Structure 1
Amino acid sequence: MRQGFPKARAGEVIGLFGGSFDPAHQGHAHITREALKRFGLDRVWWLVSPGNPLKPQGPAPLDTRMARAKAIMQHPRVIITDVETRLGTRYTAATLDQLSALYPGVHFVWLMGADNLAQFHKWQRWRDIASTTPLGVLARPGDRIPARMSPAAAVFGRARIPGRASQLLGRAAAPAWCFVNVPMVEQSSSAIRSKGGWV
């Protein structure tokens, strides 16, 4: 394995939680712990991205965001990584293509909030992502109905795993997705930035 890349063994189930984490906060940590419990994951990797292509303004420096993420998310089964910067990818589909090639036999699950599912159809190659990688969707207050009514939910409706069977997601063949309701911590990166509590 390349230096600086997380280690994983064939057969492991790794949840991938991507984002700018600008900044990381307890809400991110909370849904990560919930994902570990709900989706049958061995570990979760936080993919701290170089930037979000859907956001017009760039984030704080990567080193600053990585340090904050490591301070917020301290868990033996969670790894904070800048793997997208190391791979030179900016879009999820390209990241997944490369990770699948680098880690043969590892089962990846893409984790997202319900707000992301609601706009998933705007992502580059979103159909490819859903067709090749199981999706674990964690519902946040106010996002449940828009997510369930989203174009992606309609297109992949037959691939949905019921919430009561969420533990099956990690080893399910794609396309597969599972929507679970979890108690949420009411924090957001944008609110932290707007209050001047960040870089």
Structure 2
Amino acid sequence: MNIGLFSGSFNPIHIGHLALANYLCEYEGLDEVWFMVSPHNPLKSEEQLMDDEFRLELVKLAIEGYSKFRASDFEFRLPRPSYTVNTLDELRRSYPEYTFHLIIGSDNWALFPRWYESERILAENRILVYPRPGYPVDAASLPENVKLTSSPVFEISSTFIREALNAGKNICYFLHPAVYARLKEHAAYLGG
């Protein structure tokens, strides 16, 4: 079974994340996409993150009803800060029957050489790169195990979502309805 690993802060999860993962399942040969909620990205400051369990709850609300999506707290049990290479090693040990495909944006692909043990990640794993605005990728220059997807470009960010919510904007169409309702219920995440 081909599993796409969509690791991220999901701070919060939004329709861009969901639409991309849906596309990858339906058009890029993935049987499932696992939303790997990261407790702490080494490239981001920890104080910007909503509570780990709350972000996981929002992911579960967002993916309910689509059988090809899974919410995962796998990285919650790994040492922090969370490094992708460690997550991939542990996943292969825990699920040897699956073929994992790391899903990253072209913005992260541009930074990939800065990732911890990036050369080993590249040597040992399959990687799906999705397009992000302002970060073109030459598909012909990619290693054999790295594929540039043909997915649509989504120009939505979690930072935009948080700023809009904090400003009191009604951005209900940028979030799954259950996620939007939960965020509105939880005023601490709306700056109030």
The 8 Å contact of residues 47 and 80 in structure 1, kept in 2 or not, is answered as: yes
Preserved contact between residue 22 and residue 189 of structure 1 (Cα < 8 Å)? yes
TM-score, length of structure 2 as denominator length: 0.79
C-alpha separation in 2, matches of 1:132 and 1:55? 25
Partner of residue 190 from structure 1, selected from 148, 156, 159: 159
Structure 1, gaps ≥5 residues long:
1-11, 161-175
- Is 1:49 the counterpart of 2:18 in the alignment? no
CA contact (8 A) 1:114 1:138 kept: yes
Query: What is the root-mean-square deviation of aligned Cα atoms in Å?
Result: 2.0
1:158 to partner: Cα distance:
5.7
TM-score (norm 1): 0.76
1:141 pairs with one of 116, 133, 139: 133
* 107-116 vs 68-77, which moves further: 68-77
In structure 2, what is the equivalent of residue 66 of structure 1? Answer: 56
CA distance in 1, matches of 2:142, 2:131: 19
Deviations 1:34-54 (A, max 9, x none): 111232111111100111110
Structure 2: runs of 5 or more not aligned: 169-182, 184-188
Name 1:163's counterpart in structure 2: none
Work out whether residues 24 and 151 of structure 2, in 8 Å CA contact, stay in contact via their aligned partners in 1. Answer: no
* Residues 98-177 of structure 1: pairs in structure 2 closer than 5 A: 98-144=90-136, 147-148=137-138, 157=141, 159-160=143-144, 176-177=145-146
Change (3 A) 1:17 1:158: closer
Query: More deviation in 104-113 or 183-192?
Result: 183-192
Letter in 2 for 1:61: D
CA 1:183–1:101 in structure 2 vs 1: closer, same or farther (change >3 Å)?
same
Task: Sort the Cα spacing of 1:60 and 1:37 in 2 relative to 1 into closer, same or farther, 3 A.
Answer: same
